[in-house]
Amino acid sequence: MAPAITVSEPPIPAEAFEKHPGQWVAIRHGQIIAAADSIEGLGQNDAVESTDTVFLVPDPSTHFYRLRRD
pLDDT digits (tens, 9 = 90+) for 9-67: 667 888 888 899 999 999 998 899 999 999 999 999 999 999 999 989 988 777 767 77
**Exposure b/e, 35-66, CB count within 10 A at least 16 = b:** bbeeeeebeeeeebeeebeeeebeeeeeeeee
Domain ranges of the chain: 1-70
Predicted local confidence at residue 23, as pLDDT: 95
Determine the Cα–Cα distance for residues 30 and 49; give it in Å rounded to an integer: 14
pLDDT band at 3 (very low <50, low <70, confident <90, very high): low
Predicted local confidence at residue 13, as pLDDT: 84
